[in-house]
Structure 1
Amino acid sequence: MPYDADDERIVYLSREKLVALLGEEETGAVLKKYGGTRVRVPREETPAFDDMVCLIGEASTRALSSAHAGSRILLPQRPSQTRPRIFALLARGLSTNAIARKLKLTTRHVQRVISEERRRLQ
């Protein structure tokens, strides 16, 4: 389990886990606002909880809080931020290593995005 500089536990939530917990639309809203950052999950009946309710609704906020209240979560970037750029560079003939360097991503991430798209298209 990763920890930050303050020895605080950080939980990574993949997009898939967020969708399962919150739903597609709510996940999109969370990633649009916080994607690629660490966020503390608010506990119920706090101002931060109320802010999250305004963003994704009460039911989704309660689900997130119930599962991870008080934890710091690391959220993935929105797919729309990286996926189109990866495929545009791939179409131009760049290798996965070159794409990773150009977009400041790991080669593994680029390969995973391409692999997921291939599986989706099959």
Structure 2
Amino acid sequence: MIPASPSRKNGLTLIEVMLAIVILGLGSGVMLLATARCIAIVTQTQRYNTAQRLIQQISAEHPLTRSDLEAGTESGRFDDDGDYSWEREIIKAEEENRKGLFTVRTRVSWSDRGKSSFEEITTWVYIKPEEEL
């Protein structure tokens, strides 16, 4: 029987183990950062979806009628979603060839960890001017 030579040993060396731990650590760190970023994107998407829903809610609860359509702003906060506020700005076109045209900007704003964000929708409303007698 031939004895095992001292240069051939079973198992891993300390360098191999340390290298494996470093590779696992780096891989785990990258995966953790990627997961955190994915969660942040999901949260941000939920905020924007909520803002879209609230803009539709404003249109339903505060509809624009012919008598309401005057240049100015109105704003408020939401009872259900206290983090969100809204503002509607109505701008009347000043140009002669655009009589009866209004720009309506509806904006829902919120603050998340000190960073302010908003979702805004701009629509144009045309109301035929009444004929002058």
Length-normalised TM-score, structure 1: 0.24
More helix by share: 1
Length-normalised TM-score, structure 2: 0.23
Question: Is the radius of gyration larger for structure 1 or structure 2?
Answer: 2
More strand by share: 2
